[in-house]
Every structure is written in structure tokens, then in C-alpha cells.
Amino acid sequence: MAKQHGIAVGCLVVTEEISVNSYHKYKYQFSAKITILAKKNDTMPGEERSEIKIGLKVGIVLKADQRSGKITEGVVSAILTSSPFHPHGIKVRLTSGEVGRVKEIK
């Protein structure tokens, strides 16, 4: 199970082999999906659309920098995420034309 920014999402898979006789083996697989939603006060900066305004100075992570987590600073020119919340940060376009998810609000 992975936990990121107050949201736990995981999948539990149990596989068991049962020997019926010396010639046959049966494989049973059971899976359960576990989802725990975050409370509103557990959000990180940049996860709620209402916090982001055009003209705001922010730090974003570009798609190409997701593995390293490198922050690119700039000013928001457009808000691209339409939903009110996103667990990885609201996607924005900066005045420089770069697109990424908000990780910091300056």
C-alpha cells in the first residue's frame, strides 16, 4: 500500500496453490482494492483548485521532471485541471508556456 499526501491506495493480492491430487494443482487468487480518501484538512499546498489563481507565483513539477521532483518556478497563466481537487497537484500553464502540477505556492 502506498501513501502519498494523505491518500492511501493499494491492492492486496493473495495467491494460494492447493494440491488436489498428484496430477492437478489449482490456483486461487483473491484481491481486494483498498481506498482511503483524504480529509479536507490533510491536503498539501497546490492540491485544491480554489488555492490557485492566475497571476500567482508557484513552483511546479514538469512531466519530464517527475522522477527527480525538480521544481520550476513561475507565474500561473492558466489553470488546466477542471476538478476542484487533484492528489498530485493542480495542473497549470506558466507564463513561460511550461505545464506542470503545482507543488508549492510562493
pLDDT tens digits, one per residue of 59-96: 999 999 999 999 999 999 999 999 999 999 999 999 99
pLDDT surpasses 90 at 104: yes
Domain residue ranges of the chain, discontinuous segments joined by +: 2-40, 44-105
pLDDT tens digits, one per residue of 14-69: 444 444 444 444 444 444 444 445 455 567 788 899 999 999 999 999 999 999 99
User: The domain 44-105 is classified under which CATH number: 2.30.30, 3.30.1490, 1.10.287, 2.20.28?
Assistant: 2.30.30
**Rounded-to-integer distance, Cα 79 and Cα 12, Å:** 36
Instruction: Return the pLDDT at 61.
Output: 95
Instruction: Return the pLDDT at 27.
Output: 45
Ramachandran region, residue 54 (left: φ > 0; alpha: ψ -120 to 50; beta: rest): beta
DSSP state of 21: S
